Amino acid sequence: MLSRGLPNATTTATVLFLGLIFLLWRFDWTSEQYHNGGAIANPPSSAKGAPAKGPRIAIITFITSQKSYIHLSLKNKSRYAQRYGYDLIVDYESHAERGTTWLKFDMVERLIKEKQHDWIWWMDFDTLITNTDIKVADIINDSLANVTTPADIDFLLTDDCNGLNDGSFIVRSSPRSIEFLNRVRKLHDVEDKKGNGLNDQESMRDFLKTNDPFVKHAVAIPQWKINAFPEEIHCFDKSEQAWERGTFVIHFAGAWAHVEGDDPTGYLMQKYEKEIMWGPDPGAEVLEEER
């Protein structure tokens, strides 16, 4: 009886061991893929296993309703993030108490508190990275090189014809940045009590016009660098420079006011998809290395 029981015990132990390995693997995979209610695409390291060089950067956005261009927008940002070893974090539900658009500030604050990144790049969902050869890390370095005290700068912002446009901006991952956002929120709340309903962009715009000492931590960079508008949306900053082929990013802000049709943003996204300089496909490169 004993000799016949040993193989069964060995088989059972082997199955349990393999099951444990599988569960541990699943836990590790899941913890990397989903993160604080938002999906996070953690790009693989290089084919040789080397970590990404340079600052740790997160690209963040949200989409809370069905759109015709969801696949294109996500594919574009995901592929860019993979190419340079950045994280892409996407939220699909908003619980922001001041309104849906305020989720962008909540996401920024959340990531800062997690202390996993050096810089955070917010992108509205109606944007495309049209020149993937350009590194956002280089945009950051070039912008800081043009200021007297780079360490004082936490926000890289752009204007359009109406003033601030926060559809694409870059934030230093620092507690000081959270305090900046808290002061923007406070301005909103004060104005709201007066009956002046301001959205996130208007609140930040008005905050930047105050004498608050935290205003010095933001600097405006040319719109075309990270937030260019197409010729169809003629609302440029003082540079009056529209998107052209080779420009880093295109943003279709307010397309509904400039383009006729049932889906003006979707139309422009589809039109300018043909202009994207995709560069190498990181996924294809990994497969090639494995062959």
Contact 41, 75 (CB under 8 A): no
Structure tokens at 64: 């809370």
All residues at 6 or more sequence positions from 125 whose CB lies less than 8 Å from its CB, including other chains:
61, 62, 63, 67, 70, 73
Residue 20 clears pLDDT 90, i.e. is over it: no
Confidence of residue 282 (pLDDT cuts 50, 70, 90): confident
Alpha carbon of 136 to those of 79, 120, 201: distances in Å? 14, 10, 22
pLDDT digits (tens, 9 = 90+) for 201-223: 999 999 999 999 999 999 999 99
pLDDT for the residue numbered 99: 92
In this prediction the pTM is: 0.83
Residue 58 clears pLDDT 50, i.e. is over it: yes
Domain boundaries, the chain: 28-179+217-280
Three-state SS at 31? helix
Q: Is the sign of the CA dihedral 75, 50, 151, 222 positive or negative?
A: negative
Residue 1 clears pLDDT 90, i.e. is over it: no
Residue 39 clears pLDDT 80, i.e. is over it: no
Confidence of residue 158 (pLDDT cuts 50, 70, 90): very high
pLDDT digits (tens, 9 = 90+) for 233-277: 999 999 999 999 999 999 999 999 999 999 999 999 999 999 999
Confidence of residue 53 (pLDDT cuts 50, 70, 90): confident
DSSP string, 64-99: -S--TTHHHHHHHHHHHHHHHT-EEEEE-----TT-
Quick one: CATH architecture of 28-179+217-280?
Answer: Alpha-Beta Complex (3.90)
Question: In angstroms, rounded to a whole number, what is the distance separating the alpha carbons of residues 268 and 66?
Answer: 17
